């Protein structure tokens, strides 16, 4: 019995050693990945020494069963003690070495907020079939989004915001059936949103502001029953506002400011009981503001400024359960400002630069 126990103990120790060590291929891939980057202030890569990348390599974690590298988690803004000790945020230059694609069991690739990482996203990243999180926010990365990004069927988070990416959104992106969070904001992306953008049924946040996107809002978005946050602000989106957008059950934040949207304001947007933030400022929306507010309307922020809206401020707005920030300035509105809530707490700037509005807080009628 003692011989059997000794044998089992040795076998378990051997297995543990094998599975907790870094495979030679993963070690070589990480060393090549490191060689293309320069982090001069925090000394993060000084921890990347020795042959066991699964032990005490900053930002690296391995699958305890297979011993394969599972996560690269390098954030330039963090509450980690290494940042607190240095008293600064991170800064890193260099580029993403294609060797990262040899880490074929990688689940997380985060190289975020380093401010100086440049170059392009290697096309081969689309071959990392286990990848769930791809976060490269806050760098200087240029080039196009990999054309075959849709191959990453396990991907749930894609954050490429605050970079210098250009070109169109790849058609394959809409094949990412498990994606929940998409952030492509603050880049130089052009072209239209894919017509089948609504295929992203699991998506809860679609953040695409501050690009150069054109065309109308795709009708397929109406079927995105989990979408809570849609931000297309500061683009060149045109066409009219679709009526169905106010009927989306989960949508709570809609930012479409600073585009080229025209046509009337759908009543469904104002009667929606789910929308809490609605920003349509700086477009060319025209016609009257629909008298469609009700006791379940609850707007933390409602901004319709800098449009071509005319006629009176609807009286039903005073029946809304809550309106925090309201901006109707720079339109063509006319008539008396309704009395009572929410008008009694608003400044004159909420109503300024209209044709002939009057009443508190403006001049008396």
pLDDT digits (tens, 9 = 90+) for 241-281: 999 999 999 999 999 999 999 999 999 999 999 999 999 99
**Distant-in-sequence, close-in-space partners of 66: CB < 8 Å, separation ≥ 6:** 19, 105
Which residues does residue 4 pair with via DSSP β-bridges, in sequence order? none
User: What whole-number percentage of the chain has pLDDT above 70?
Assistant: 95
- Decide if 137 is inside a domain: yes
- Tokens 């590298």 identify what position? 69
How high is the pLDDT of residue 340? 84
Whether 99 is covered by a domain: the verdict is: yes
CATH number at residue 156: 3.80.10.10
Q: Is residue 320 part of a domain?
A: yes
* Chain centre to alpha carbon of residue 326: 25
Specify if 70 maps to a domain.
yes
Q: Is residue 4 part of a domain?
A: no
Residue 2 lies in a domain: no
| Domain count along the chain | 1
Q: For residues 313-329, give the mean pLDDT.
A: 94
Is residue 15 a part of any domain in this protein? no
Is 237 inside any structural domain? yes
Phi then psi dihedrals of residue 15, to 5 deg: -65, -45
**Using CA atoms, how far apart are residues 212 and 293, in angstroms rounded to an integer?**
33
Query: For residue 287, what are the domain limits?
Result: 35-358
- Please tell me the pTM assigned to this model: 0.92
The b/e string for 12-37 (b: 16+ C-beta within 10 A; e otherwise) is eeeeeeeeebbbeebbebbeebbebb
* Tokens, residue 253: 């934040």
Is the per-residue pLDDT at 11 higher than 50? no
Q: Residue 39: what pLDDT?
A: 95
Q: Which residue has the tokens 């071959």?
A: 127
- Residue 191 pLDDT greater than 90, yes or no: yes
Distance of alpha carbon 135 from alpha carbon 159, whole angstroms:
5
Report residue 63 CA to chain centroid gap. 28
pLDDT in tens, 84-128: 888 888 999 999 999 999 999 999 999 999 999 999 999 999 999
């Amino acid at each position: 019995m003692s011989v059997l126990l000794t044998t089992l103990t040795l076998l378990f120790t051997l297995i543990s050693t094998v599975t907790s060590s870094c495979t030679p291929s993963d070690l070589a891939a990480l060393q090549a990945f490191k060689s293309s980057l320069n982090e001069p202030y925090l000394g993060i890569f000084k921890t990347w020494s020795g042959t066991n990348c699964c032990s005490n390599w900053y930002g690296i974690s391995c699958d305890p069963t297979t011993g394969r590298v599972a996560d690269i988690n390098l954030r330039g803004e963090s509450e980690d003690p290494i940042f607190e000790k240095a008293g600064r945020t991170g800064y890193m230059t260099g580029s993403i070495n294609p060797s990262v694609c040899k880490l074929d069991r990688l689940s997380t690739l985060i190289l975020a907020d380093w401010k100086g990482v440049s170059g392009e996203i290697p096309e081969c990243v689309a071959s990392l079939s286990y990848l769930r999180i791809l976060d490269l926010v806050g760098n200087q990365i240029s080039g196009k989004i990999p054309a075959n990004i849709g191959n990453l069927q396990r991907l749930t988070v894609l954050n490429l915001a605050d970079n210098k990416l250009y070109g169109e959104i790849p058609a394959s992106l809409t094949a990412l059936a498990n994606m929940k969070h998409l952030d492509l904001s603050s880049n130089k992306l052009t072209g239209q949103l894919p017509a089948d953008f609504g295929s992203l049924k699991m998506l809860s946040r679609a953040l695409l502001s501050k690009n150069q996107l054109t065309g109308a809002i795709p009708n397929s978005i109406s079927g995105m029953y989990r979408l809570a946050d849609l931000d297309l602000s500061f683009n060149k989106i045109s066409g009219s506002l679709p009526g169905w957008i106010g009927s989306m059950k989960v949508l709570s934040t809609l930012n479409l400011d600073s585009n080229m949207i025209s046509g009337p304001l759908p009543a469904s947007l104002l009667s929606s009981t789910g929308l809490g933030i609605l920003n349509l400022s700086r477009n060319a929306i025209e016609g009257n503001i629909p008298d469609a507010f009700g006791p379940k309307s609850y707007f933390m922020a409602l901004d319709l400024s800098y449009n071509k809206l005319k006629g009176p401020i609807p009286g039903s707005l005073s029946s809304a359960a809550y309106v925090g920030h309201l901006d109707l300035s720079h339109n063509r509105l006319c008539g008396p400002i309704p009395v009572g809530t929410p008008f009694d707490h608003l400044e004159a700037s909420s109503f300024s630069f209209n044709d002939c509005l009057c009443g508190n807080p403006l001049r008396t009628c």
